[in-house]
A and B are shown apart, each in its own frame.
Chain A
Amino acid sequence: MATTMPATDDKPVIPLTARDFKGQVDPDWCAGCGDFGVLNALQRSCAELGLRPHEILTVSGIGCSSNLPGYFNSYGMHTLHGRSLAVATGAKLGNHRLHVIVTGGDGDGYGIGGNHFTHTARRNVDLTYVVMNNQIYGLTTGQISPTSTMGMKTKSTPFGSVEAPLNPITSAIMNGATFVARGFSGDVRHLTELMKQAIQHSGFSLIDIFSPCVTFNHDNSNAFFKERVRKLEDEGHDTSDWKTACEKAMLFGDTIYTGLFFQKQAPTLGGSEPVLDPDEPLGLQTLGLDKEQTKRIIERMM
């Protein structure tokens, strides 16, 4: 994936800073919410990669974290609950020049949108999926999510959850994702580096981010992660080894790994479709059929 687009009208390109990616309004997240760190890292990574706001399309669903496109200066689509990946796939195929970044939460992406998560990964759509995983439903004031731990007490599980959580990292690897990473909102510098790699990766990239909810999840707090997270890159992890990646991703005790678990190069959905014209995105083409195309259609009907 190209990291910059040509400047229009030969105007000199003024380097942008994270501040230039600040949206029209300030986030309405609770003070101390992990999502601030994620937004901050995304703004920094786009600035450091030299992207321009109009080259980026952020797409989200519904939930606290899905409000992110409103707080970020780029084209954005704040869509239905769970549908961000489907909308983003259509948008990426409609204009493959856009850098498409999908943002949302664990309930939006792994629960109601789980079907799209599976299939967007296996199709290897060239987009970056940033999931702010707080292991709880926050906007609906505290119920279990697909990543809540067993035994967790919430308003919908007053006696403790009896369901096993979903593991986004192993799921994504099994579904065919070509870039699978985990970040922590409390380490913005590390997260920024992961995001830069993910945006530059050609294909479907997932960054599942521990982004603690300070209001409704007191089990998995900022402090909980701070004392447990260890970076894979500090241990010389081989990112082409999916088996070890899965083993390490399954650990959720005294050690919880962050970093890039798995990466491989594979053809993207858009790259495999000859109808995508490298010079002219579908959405910008002049409409109407030519005589030769029409002739072939009618002949087949005779």
Chain B
Amino acid sequence: MTVGSFDLTIAIGGEAGQGIATPGDILARIFVRRGLHLNTYNAYQSIIRGGHIFLYLRVCDQEIFTHGDKLDILMCLNQDTMDRHLQLMRPGSWVLYNEDNIKPGEAGDGIQLCPLPVTKLSVSRNRLSQNTMAVGAASHLLGLDFQVLEESLTLRFQRQGQAVIDENVSVARAGYDHSVANFKAFDQTVPTGPTPLAVWSGNEALAMGGAAAGVKFYAAYPMSPATGVLHWMAQNARNLGIMVRQVEDEIGVANMVIGAAHTGCRAMCATSGGGFALMTEAVGSAAMMEIPAVFIDVMRAGPSTGVPTKTEQGDLWQVLGASQGDFERFIVAPTTPVDCFNTMAELFNLTDKYQCPGIVVTDLLLSEGRFSIAPDLIDMHPHIDRGELITKGSSTDGYMRYKNTETGISPRAVPGLEGYVHVVATDEHDENSQLLSDEFTNPHKRRKMVEKRARKFKVAIEDIKPPELEGSADAEITLIGWGSTYGVIREAVAILVEQGVAVNHLPIKWIVPFHGEVITDILSKSKRVVVVENSFSGQFYRYMRSETGLSVDGHIRKYDGEPFIPHHIVDGVKAHLAEKIECFVPYQEAIT
């Protein structure tokens, strides 16, 4: 199924070091400048040179939330791509390749093989010229004017000088002309959207969301797939007045963030599961000292070093169990790129108000995917509420940092102010921040302080939007997912509804606090409930059951490293409707 009237996917495959990113970027820019929507997914591996890299680039005249099911144009930069992917192409698609060094396989009916005689046509001896030539040919197949491509190439290479621009334009021209003479183009012209769109990745959305929320301190240790946050922060640090530090390890990162946060900065850090494991003790220390700080865990396939460049939702229990002891914190799983952005200000306001840590749990699919975004959807000036924070003046009336108030929230003074002198401690302490272990370890004081901190969270759930059911209330199956699966479930639901299967969707964003009662209420009206998640053991389902006591009718789970695409879920729903099965695990096609 297509989402809009123009919905097309281009894939580029090759090995690391063959320059897949550049043709992908050139084509992506052409489409978003025309106002078309974009969703890309790069299936790559942890290798600098070699291996197999496959970039999906889906373009549509409507908003899209997944890289989709189908491939229309396949650009093979090496033999491996041809061998792996030709069999998956469908009638009406094109396969472009360099005929000098790639042998085509047996193409199915209706698949147009488009060999490019690169050496013959190219004046350039540059090994990357096959990429540029393929972009030229693809532009013709898509019905683009060559002038559009020429402008894009000029912009892309302008920093490298006129000679490089000329060389690329001439190679692209050769590919374009060869395609005009030899291949039949797409019968639909590329439309133009209302306004040009921008491009960002999920990592950039998280970083920008932090910056818009007023982050003044960012620290990190590089780790895929979260490194993009560090790169954005470092690039923008001086423009925005943000202190950005690369630290010796994630333990140092988390503790530095807490130190900066204590002085009044909004402070955050991002890492993946392994780095977050090192940060966990600090998360609890922020809770005990009642210092607000934000930690982002961008999940990749684990356990341990796992599959560093592949996606999974396997860290849910890690974030739920992060740090020893019993304490209050927020855990949120944004659903879309723009939600990654908006979540940051929302979470900082909550962690400031409740003076506790906040954890964002997202994954490679969202963080490293590149997506179009309408610039006016990015609110760079969100509402900022710092709660009961004291940053100026002086006091003479016996300030107590951990005053036992009715709400449990104690006014928080930053160091440097006269009359507010106090010590914060990771040891249990009394209202006046005196350590319990410095005197008789008073059980009544301990109980009072545990209850003070816990009391803050009695009302926190009221500040969090409850989940809402999407789609018809009267459905055969309710699909429930969390975080990044929002987009793919949404599209699967649309496909199923079009095919006459009544399904609806309950997406979950907030993990802690958890709207258990609202979820129970919604699901109790559902005929059948199927949980969709990117983990083997169904971490979300088990968490939901522990919070609500609900059991469900089935599962769709994937844990091979690649994300769900819509038909995986469509097939899963049909399998559940056809017979009683516990769990459907879709087969990932593009592997031979």
A2 touches B (CB below 8 Å): no
The residue from A25, A28, A79, A289 contacting B380, defined by CB atoms under 8 A apart: A289
Are A91 and B263 neighbours in the complex by a CB distance under 8 Å? yes
User: B299 — which chain A residues lie within 8 A by C-beta?
Assistant: none
The residue from A57, A98, A285 contacting B241, defined by CB atoms under 8 A apart: A285
Stretch at the interface among B36-44, B182-190, B309-317, B427-435: B427-435
Against B, the Cβ 8 Å flags (1 = close, 0 = not) of A178-210 are 000000000000000000000000000000000
Are A284 and B422 neighbours in the complex by a CB distance under 8 Å? no
Ranked 10 nearest A-B pairs via Cβ:
A90-B259, A287-B214, A283-B264, A94-B263, A76-B423, A283-B263, A86-B255, A90-B256, A301-B198, A90-B260
Complexed CA–CA distance, A92 and B426 (Å): 19
Are A78 and B415 neighbours in the complex by a CB distance under 8 Å? no
User: A74 — which chain B residues lie within 8 A by C-beta?
Assistant: 421
Complexed CA–CA distance, A91 and B255 (Å): 10
The 26 sampled A-B contact pairs (Cβ below 8 Å) are A24-B434, A52-B418, A54-B418, A55-B416, A67-B435, A78-B426, A86-B259, A87-B258, A90-B256, A90-B263, A91-B260, A94-B260, A94-B264, A95-B415, A95-B416, A97-B416, A116-B252, A119-B252, A274-B238, A275-B237, A277-B241, A288-B381, A294-B381, A297-B239, A298-B198, A302-B375
User: A282 — which chain B residues lie within 8 A by C-beta?
Assistant: 216-217, 241, 243, 260, 263-265
Are A78 and B424 neighbours in the complex by a CB distance under 8 Å? yes
User: B245 — which chain A residues lie within 8 A by C-beta?
Assistant: 89, 93
Are B240 and A289 neighbours in the complex by a CB distance under 8 Å? yes
Against A, the Cβ 8 Å flags (1 = close, 0 = not) of B249-278 are 101110111111111111100000000000
Are B256 and A87 neighbours in the complex by a CB distance under 8 Å? yes
Stretch at the interface among B77-85, B281-289, B451-459: B281-289
Total count of chain B residues near the partner, CB < 8 A: 75
A149 touches B (CB below 8 Å): no
B590 touches A (CB below 8 Å): no
Query: Which residues of B does A touch, CB under 8 Å?
Result: 33, 196, 198-200, 204, 208, 211-214, 216-217, 219, 236-243, 245, 247-249, 251-253, 255-267, 281-282, 285, 289, 373, 375, 378, 380-381, 384, 386, 391-392, 394, 414-427, 432, 434-435, 438-439
A83 touches B (CB below 8 Å): yes
A281 touches B (CB below 8 Å): yes
Are A53 and B424 neighbours in the complex by a CB distance under 8 Å? no
The residue from A59, A73, A119 contacting B259, defined by CB atoms under 8 A apart: A59
A94 and B255 contact, Cβ closer than 8 Å, known pairs A70-B425, A78-B427: no
Are A301 and B255 neighbours in the complex by a CB distance under 8 Å? no
User: B427 — which chain A residues lie within 8 A by C-beta?
Assistant: 78
Complexed CA–CA distance, A91 and B196 (Å): 43
User: B33 — which chain A residues lie within 8 A by C-beta?
Assistant: 302
Against B, the Cβ 8 Å flags (1 = close, 0 = not) of A264-285 are 0000000001111100011111
Task: Determine how close the nearest CB of chain B comes to the CB of A167; give it in whole angstroms.
Answer: 21
What DSSP secondary structure best describes chain B's contact surface?
Answer: mixed
A294 and B416 contact, Cβ closer than 8 Å, known pairs A118-B248, A277-B241: no
User: B196 — which chain A residues lie within 8 A by C-beta?
Assistant: 302
Are A281 and B425 neighbours in the complex by a CB distance under 8 Å? no
Are B198 and A302 neighbours in the complex by a CB distance under 8 Å? yes
Query: Which residues of A does B touch, CB under 8 Å?
Result: 8-9, 23-25, 28, 52-55, 57-59, 62, 67, 69-70, 73-80, 83, 86-95, 97-98, 115-116, 118-119, 273-277, 281-285, 287-289, 293-294, 296-298, 301-302
Complexed CA–CA distance, A294 and B214 (Å): 12
The residue from A62, A86, A288 contacting B384, defined by CB atoms under 8 A apart: A288
Task: Determine how close the nearest CB of chain A comes to the CB of B106; give it in whole angstroms.
Answer: 43
Task: Determine how close the nearest CB of chain A comes to the CB of B538; give it in whole angstroms.
Answer: 33
Complexed CA–CA distance, A55 and B421 (Å): 9
User: B237 — which chain A residues lie within 8 A by C-beta?
Assistant: 275
Are A93 and B217 neighbours in the complex by a CB distance under 8 Å? yes
- In this complex, the member of B196, B240, B253 whose beta carbon has the largest number of chain A beta carbons within 10 angstroms is B240
Number of inter-chain CB pairs below 8 Å:
212
The residue from A116, A289, A301 contacting B212, defined by CB atoms under 8 A apart: A289
Task: Determine how close the nearest CB of chain A comes to the CB of B109; give it in whole angstroms.
Answer: 42
Task: Determine how close the nearest CB of chain A comes to the CB of B278; give it in whole angstroms.
Answer: 11
A77 and B259 contact, Cβ closer than 8 Å, known pairs A54-B419, A276-B243: yes
Complexed CA–CA distance, A67 and B435 (Å): 9
User: B375 — which chain A residues lie within 8 A by C-beta?
Assistant: 298, 301-302
User: A93 — which chain B residues lie within 8 A by C-beta?
Assistant: 217, 243, 245, 260
Complexed CA–CA distance, A284 and B260 (Å): 11
Complexed CA–CA distance, A95 and B264 (Å): 8
Are A115 and B259 neighbours in the complex by a CB distance under 8 Å? no
Are B198 and A80 neighbours in the complex by a CB distance under 8 Å? no
In this complex, what residue of B is CB-closest to A69?
Answer: B423
A275 and B242 contact, Cβ closer than 8 Å, known pairs A78-B423, A80-B282: yes
Complexed CA–CA distance, A75 and B399 (Å): 12
Are B216 and A283 neighbours in the complex by a CB distance under 8 Å? yes
Task: Determine how close the nearest CB of chain B comes to the CB of A256; give it in whole angstroms.
Answer: 31
Are B416 and A289 neighbours in the complex by a CB distance under 8 Å? no
Are B384 and A298 neighbours in the complex by a CB distance under 8 Å? no
A86 and B434 contact, Cβ closer than 8 Å, known pairs A75-B423, A76-B423, A302-B198: no
Query: A76-B422, A77-B425, A90-B261 given. 14 additional CB < 8 A pairs?
Result: A59-B259, A83-B252, A83-B282, A87-B259, A90-B260, A91-B259, A91-B263, A93-B245, A94-B260, A115-B248, A119-B247, A282-B243, A293-B240, A294-B380
User: B417 — which chain A residues lie within 8 A by C-beta?
Assistant: 54
The residue from B240, B256, B264, B281 contacting A284, defined by CB atoms under 8 A apart: B264
Are A297 and B380 neighbours in the complex by a CB distance under 8 Å? yes
Complexed CA–CA distance, A232 and B380 (Å): 58
Are A78 and B425 neighbours in the complex by a CB distance under 8 Å? yes
Task: Determine how close the nearest CB of chain A comes to the CB of B56; give it in whole angstroms.
Answer: 21
Complexed CA–CA distance, A74 and B421 (Å): 6
User: B211 — which chain A residues lie within 8 A by C-beta?
Assistant: 289, 297
Complexed CA–CA distance, A293 and B435 (Å): 44
Complexed CA–CA distance, A273 and B414 (Å): 22
Complexed CA–CA distance, A293 and B392 (Å): 26
In this complex, what residue of B is CB-closest to A93?
Answer: B243
User: A9 — which chain B residues lie within 8 A by C-beta?
Assistant: 394
Complexed CA–CA distance, A119 and B266 (Å): 24
Task: Determine how close the nearest CB of chain A comes to the CB of B212; give it in whole angstroms.
Answer: 6
Task: Determine how close the nearest CB of chain A comes to the CB of B28; give it in whole angstroms.
Answer: 12
A88 and B238 contact, Cβ closer than 8 Å, known pairs A54-B420, A95-B416: no
Complexed CA–CA distance, A288 and B213 (Å): 7
- In this complex, the member of A87, A93, A273 whose beta carbon has the largest number of chain B beta carbons within 10 angstroms is A87
The residue from B198, B239, B256, B425 contacting A86, defined by CB atoms under 8 A apart: B256
User: A116 — which chain B residues lie within 8 A by C-beta?
Assistant: 248, 252
User: A87 — which chain B residues lie within 8 A by C-beta?
Assistant: 255-256, 258-259, 262
Complexed CA–CA distance, A80 and B255 (Å): 9
The residue from A59, A76, A79, A283 contacting B260, defined by CB atoms under 8 A apart: A283
